[in-house]
Structure 1
Amino acid sequence: MTPVERFRELLSIPTVSRVDPAEVDDSAFEAFHAALERLYPLIHARLEREVVAGRSLLYRWAGERPGAPLVLLAHQDVVPVDGQEWQHPPFAADLEGEGADATLYARGAIDDKGALVAILEAVEALLADDITPRTDVWLAFGHDEETRGTGAQAMASLLAERGIRPALVLDEGGAVVEGAVPGVSAPTAMIGVAERGVATFDLVTREAGGHASTPPRLPATARLARAIDRLRRRPFPRRLVPPVRAMLATAAPHTRDPLSTLFHRTSVSAPAVTLALSLLGPETNALVRTTAVVTRLEGSAGENVLATSARASVNVRLLTGDTLADVAVHLRRAVADPLVDIEMRHGNDPSPVSPWQGAAWRRLSRAVTDTLGPDTVPLPYLQLGASDSRFYAGLTDAVYRFAPFHLSRAERDALHAPDERIRVDAWLRGIQFYRALIAS
């Protein structure tokens, strides 16, 4: 079989994670594990494998000598396709087009089986060539990254218990893109040196209830709606945090004035830069402020019954330097209503910031330019979403988030959306990136 044929087979297995573990199809993960053993015989013959937390897979590839290992992360699970209309069946792994236009359509093509299978392809090929890494390489493939991350937590804890201190941890994250930074025309490899925290807060209003034919002046639902609108109209303040300053400073030599000067001198230009980024679009706005958006609403169980309580779930993504306590204070001030309860359901603070200089950064950068194009500019980047990598921050300060695939704007927009896809050429180059990184 070819690498693409193996990729298509693994994409066709619906390893969907659910918030309720009882709703997860265990047989899909069993089939996925069995397929991995069959498709990658050298890995399963020569690497040590452990099943952790029920479904997560942890592999150890022994190196030539002791030393700080490389840890490569990916996740087996994919998000559901419930209610989405796809032009291509989400688990058919359809291949459309030829040559440079050949594209694979499937849930997980990018998030995150693209990286997982590319890692396996790189390792299997290196084993076939009788290449042994200088130090140990660990592969850690979680099973519930899209929901709770318990698999990653368990594997990170296991490595910590064994005293393993990695030289570098790499997880999914940014990609090779164009147009991510204003004024930069060269392709940029967006390497996450930190990621925002994530939390869910509930806004809750309560009343006595009763028949909908005789509503009070301000029902629980109306009070909640007012609180939601107040929160929308009072966003978190803008700030230019160290990872974004580093991104701009690194990008500055690849821009022209006045942007080059603005990016170099953020100690002076920060107010203008943060304002511009906040107005350019949702992605750049999220680089300069903590964001909060209502994602779920709950009210009465009946059409003619007043809600005794109304609830709005607020998804919060915390900018570097903010804390969960800061968020709670801002929500209270924005809502400005003592009759609206604010409850934190779960959350974690932003990750530590990894260095964008030093041995680990140089190792990543060399792999990028050697395999993804000498004109590609590695940029430090603030990861906007959460990943399994946050659980490994206690093991090393060199935790990075980068998927080595050249993605268009439309391809990035298809993550978690209908017709998720990846171009075959971009995916194959990603395999070479992992091979170069392991061999370095």
Structure 2
Amino acid sequence: MTHRAVGKLQALVRIPTVSDRDPALVDAAVFDELLAELAAQFPLLHERLEPTRVDTHGLLFRWPGRSDARPVVLMAHLDVVPVEADAPWQHPPFGAEIHDGAIWGRGTLDDKGALVGICEAVETLLERGFVPAQDVWLSFGCNEEVSGTAARLAVVELEARGVRPWVVVDEGGAVASEAFPGVGAPIGVVGVTEKGVTSIELRVEGRGGHASTPARMGPTARLARAITRLDRAPMPASVPEPTVELFRRMAPHAMLALRPLLANAARLRPVLTRALVAAGPEPAAMTRTTFAVTTLSGSPALNVIASTAKAGVNIRIMVGDTVAGVLEHVRRTIDDDQVRVDVVEQNEPSPVSPVDDDAFRLLEATIVEVFPDTVPAPYVMMAATDSRFFTAICPRVYRFAPFRMTKAQRESIHSYDEHLGIDALVDGVRWYQRLIERIPG
């Protein structure tokens, strides 16, 4: 028999809740439809928990427990990123079709799978008359993908009510197979911090004109030089404490040749750093602040020289670096007064949540129970989540989506062919359920 969570996830994935930085471009009716569907799929949750609307379509639910001394916050988000028109999806991105034992569609992994996992776990426990040991809050943002205000407003609401969470769990890591070369066991990576997200725009202006009479070092050439300089001057690399602990835990499960290096990561940081940098983009990103040129604009026509050339740069700031230090690196590296550097958004790296702590041990124990072949371990999350705003009211913020994911699945997030295995979804529901049941009194 198919688990009922499967149909619920399908129903939500078929509603294209695409967010946009410009609120005028967001289809509010689609989000209205999602909230109505969510209420229809999880009636007890909506009937028995105390709901609060946050921002335009965000939701905050309070599930009263036997105590409110150490409340727990479980998070997910309702919105998804757009689908590129020419992306080669094998199956319709909002069709939520089932193929090869998986549900295919935008949002299955990011982040409606977690949304359904949390809600189905709560719905099941409510059906059984279960009362959690502590208050449980559910925070579902509506504009996470555009760094919107829903999560910030949820924090404001909790602060106004005097709620200081004991632990917060949001999306982030996963039960990752094929995560590290030479390590056979799946790693249950729990984000204990995340890189800071900062975006800048490089802008060069000039006279423009007819393409038949180009001047040397026009706006586009000057911008290209700035981009090339930045690309050739990466920030210094290092291995932070969470990564050292990650490697220490992986060491017994690694191939023999790697075990000494991983087990002694703290003493061999320089060697390990060089190895990660040489291993490719994903391992290298674990060691340093990264710069990605994501948008480019110039002339509106092929025979017109651009009067303004612009490049958007997305920066992921490593733990230990700062926004101010990174901007100084950008300006010093580009070394051109005619290239203007405008800051679009800026966020420092999140504080590091504790590993030697009862809250982290609760997550570990639940991971091992539901995924017994998995090695739970902390890591530095390279993407951004809504949970970064909750660090203002909680020192224990963790990022973990309880789903088995292959490397191909992880690569499909924000790309094409996003899909979540049916068995993985069912295990995820069970993980959230056991986590709530395990909350200590």
What is the alpha-carbon distance in structure 1 between the residues aligned to residue 426 and residue 32 of structure 2? 26
1:256/1:301 Cα in 2 relative to 1: closer, same or farther (>3 Å)? closer
Cα distance, 1:29 vs structure 2: 0.8
| Equivalence for 1:272 | 271
What is the alpha-carbon distance in structure 1 between the residues aligned to residue 324 and residue 93 of structure 2? 40
| Equivalence for 2:383 | 385
Cα distance, 1:269 vs structure 2: 1.1
Specify the SS of the correspondent of 1:108. Answer: coil
Per-residue Cα deviation, 1:188-218 (whole angstroms, up to 9, x for no partner): 1010000001111111212222222211111
Q: Which amino acid letter does the alignment assign opposite residue 272 of structure 2?
A: V
Is the aligned partner of 1:65 residue 2:67?
A: yes
Q: Which amino acid letter does the alignment assign opposite residue 134 of structure 2?
A: T
| Equivalence for 2:184 | 185
Q: Which amino acid letter does the alignment assign opposite residue 126 of structure 1?
A: L
The residue correspondences of 1:294-333 to structure 2 (distance < 5 A) are 294-333=293-332
Deviates more, 1:13-22 or 1:259-268: 259-268
1:267/1:94 Cα in 2 relative to 1: closer, same or farther (>3 Å)? closer
Per-residue Cα deviation, 1:318-367 (whole angstroms, up to 9, x for no partner): 00011111111111222122222222111101000001111101110111
Is the aligned partner of 1:94 residue 2:93?
A: no
Match of 2:16 among 14, 34, 40: 14
Cα distance, 1:398 vs structure 2: 0.5
Cα distance, 1:123 vs structure 2: 0.2
What is the alpha-carbon distance in structure 2 between the residues aligned to residue 242 and residue 176 of structure 1? 21
| Equivalence for 1:413 | 411
Q: Which amino acid letter does the alignment assign opposite residue 9 of structure 2?
A: F
Q: Which amino acid letter does the alignment assign opposite residue 63 of structure 2?
A: W
Cα distance, 1:257 vs structure 2: 5.0
Deviates more, 1:111-120 or 1:299-308: 299-308
- Identity of matched residues, %: 45
| Equivalence for 1:149 | 148
| Equivalence for 1:376 | 374
Specify the SS of the correspondent of 1:348. Answer: coil
Cα distance, 1:182 vs structure 2: 4.0
Indicate if the aligned counterparts of 2:6 and 2:425 stay in contact, CA closer than 8 A: no
Q: Which amino acid letter does the alignment assign opposite residue 186 of structure 1?
A: A
What is the alpha-carbon distance in structure 2 between the residues aligned to residue 347 and residue 338 of structure 1? 22
Per-residue Cα deviation, 1:291-336 (whole angstroms, up to 9, x for no partner): 0011111112333322222111111000001111111111122212
What is the alpha-carbon distance in structure 2 between the residues aligned to residue 67 and residue 254 of structure 1? 39
| Equivalence for 1:25 | 27
Per-residue Cα deviation, 1:60-118 (whole angstroms, up to 9, x for no partner): 00001231111001000011113223221111110123xxxx11111101100000001
Specify the SS of the correspondent of 1:393. Answer: helix
Specify the SS of the correspondent of 1:266. Answer: coil
Deviates more, 1:3-12 or 1:310-319: 3-12
Deviates more, 1:10-19 or 1:69-78: 10-19
Indicate if the aligned counterparts of 2:147 and 2:386 stay in contact, CA closer than 8 A: no
Cα distance, 1:427 vs structure 2: 0.7
Match of 1:423 among 415, 421, 424: 421
Q: Which amino acid letter does the alignment assign opposite residue 57 of structure 1?
A: L
Q: Which amino acid letter does the alignment assign opposite residue 137 of structure 1?
A: V
Cα distance, 1:140 vs structure 2: 0.3
What is the alpha-carbon distance in structure 2 between the residues aligned to residue 185 and residue 347 of structure 1? 38
What is the alpha-carbon distance in structure 1 between the residues aligned to residue 292 and residue 73 of structure 2? 34
What is the alpha-carbon distance in structure 2 between the residues aligned to residue 329 and residue 46 of structure 1? 52
What is the alpha-carbon distance in structure 2 between the residues aligned to residue 268 and residue 424 of structure 1? 42
What is the alpha-carbon distance in structure 2 between the residues aligned to residue 384 and residue 165 of structure 1? 26
| Equivalence for 1:259 | 258
Cα distance, 1:283 vs structure 2: 1.4
Q: Which amino acid letter does the alignment assign opposite residue 87 of structure 1?
A: Q
Deviates more, 1:39-48 or 1:293-302: 293-302
Per-residue Cα deviation, 1:35-82 (whole angstroms, up to 9, x for no partner): 111111111111000111111010000001231111001000011113
The CA RMSD over aligned residues, in Å, is 1.4
Is the aligned partner of 1:78 residue 2:80?
A: yes
Cα distance, 1:256 vs structure 2: 5.4
Query: Which consecutive unaligned segments of at least 5 residues does structure 1 have?
Result: none
Cα distance, 1:409 vs structure 2: 1.0
Q: Which amino acid letter does the alignment assign opposite residue 60 of structure 1?
A: R
What is the alpha-carbon distance in structure 1 between the residues aligned to residue 42 and residue 308 of structure 2? 53
Q: Which amino acid letter does the alignment assign opposite residue 21 of structure 1?
A: P
What is the alpha-carbon distance in structure 2 between the residues aligned to residue 323 and residue 338 of structure 1? 23
Specify the SS of the correspondent of 2:275. Answer: helix
What is the alpha-carbon distance in structure 1 between the residues aligned to residue 126 and residue 266 of structure 2? 49
Match of 1:438 among 430, 436, 439: 436
| Equivalence for 2:398 | 400
What is the alpha-carbon distance in structure 1 between the residues aligned to residue 30 and residue 344 of structure 2? 30
Deviates more, 1:223-232 or 1:78-87: 78-87
Is the aligned partner of 1:3 residue 2:5?
A: yes
Cα distance, 1:259 vs structure 2: 2.9
Q: Which amino acid letter does the alignment assign opposite residue 32 of structure 2?
A: E
Deviates more, 1:233-242 or 1:203-212: 203-212
What is the alpha-carbon distance in structure 1 between the residues aligned to residue 204 and residue 284 of structure 2? 30
Q: Which amino acid letter does the alignment assign opposite residue 409 of structure 1?
A: K
Q: Which amino acid letter does the alignment assign opposite residue 437 of structure 1?
A: L
Report the count of equivalent residues: 435
Cα distance, 1:263 vs structure 2: 2.4
| Equivalence for 2:135 | 136
TM-score in terms of structure 2 length: 0.96
| Equivalence for 1:43 | 45
What is the alpha-carbon distance in structure 2 between the residues aligned to residue 375 and residue 419 of structure 1? 27
Specify the SS of the correspondent of 2:346. Answer: strand
Specify the SS of the correspondent of 1:413. Answer: helix
Query: Which consecutive unaligned segments of at least 5 residues does structure 2 have?
Result: none
